[in-house]
Every structure is written in C-alpha cells, then in structure tokens.
Amino acid sequence: MRRFQNLRGGLLVIVALLLASCAPGEVAETTPDETAPAVDAQVAFDLEAWSARFSQEMNAGNLEVLAGMFTEDGCRMPPNQPIVEGRTMLLAQLEAATQMTSELRVTPTASEVFGTTAVGRGIFERFNADGSTLETGKWMNTHKLVDGVWKMHCDIWNSDLPLEGSN
C-alpha cells in the first residue's frame, strides 16, 4: 500500500511539472536569421501569373520555352510513370504531354513562399479538340528563385478519374 502511495505521489509531481511547463510564460522576441537570403519584392512569387504562362506555353506547344521555365535539374512526376529529371527528359515528357490534349487549363488554389523556395497547388482540366472535358485533377509543385527568376523545380499531378478496373 505504501508503495502505491509513493507511486501516486510521484505521478502527481510529474503531472504538476508538466502543467507548469505548459503555462503561458514570457515570450522571447526573436530576430530573423541574418543568413537567410533576402527576397526582392520585384521578384515576388506570383503563382497565378506563372500558371497562366505555363498553360499558354503548353497550349501553344512551345517546348523549349516550357523546359526553360524549369530549373536545370527540374523534374516532373507524371502519374503511373517513372520520375522525369533534367532538361533532355523534360523536353521529351513535355512533348508527349502536349500531344495528349488540345487545351490545358491550370488553376492555382494556394501557394506559400519560404525565402527562395515556393510551393504551389491547384487543379487542372484537359480538354478535347471539341472543347469537351477530357480529364480533371490536382497538382502540386515547388519553385526556386534562380538568378532573379522563379523556375519550377518539381511538378507532380494526378487525375481525379478512377483507375481503370477499379470500382
């Protein structure tokens, strides 16, 4: 019995210490990391404008321009396919992508910037030549600020359509 009382007393002390550590205290003011690179307001990340340009270049079939919108070591992660990395592979994948649809519409829904890196997400629609919807889906990508220009570093997307053969 005495052993139980000692254990109970020890637990009460631990709970009291935990509660005390959760109590509001003085908040120390911090300063920004001096080593973090400053981001010039003139190169603020604008996912809406970037996405509109991406759609425009994709729909026009401007493969070299599209590939130039990626970092040198950029990547794409197409659904149900291996990752595509580097300028040569990006060009081949972008060419295949432009052959698969008459029009691509990309709509951003959110973005966040972390210094010289940005993350965006949104939805996409692909259309047939007659204007009917071929596919809808969602995407997420990362961008890097390279020599004052925002470039896509990695792009991943997938369809809202169910897999063939699934219920």
Give whole-number Cα distances, 34 to 26, 37, 146, 151, in Å.
24, 8, 20, 25
Whether the predicted model's global pTM rises above the 0.85 cut: no
pLDDT reading at 39 higher than 90: no
The pLDDT of residue 102 is 87
pLDDT digits (tens, 9 = 90+) for 114-132: 999 999 999 999 999 999 9
Structure token digits, residue 162: 């169910």
**CATH code of domain 41-159:** 3.10.450.50
pLDDT reading at 20 higher than 80: no
| Residues contacting residue 72 through CB under 8 Å, at least 6 positions apart | 86, 87
Domain positions in the chain = 41-159
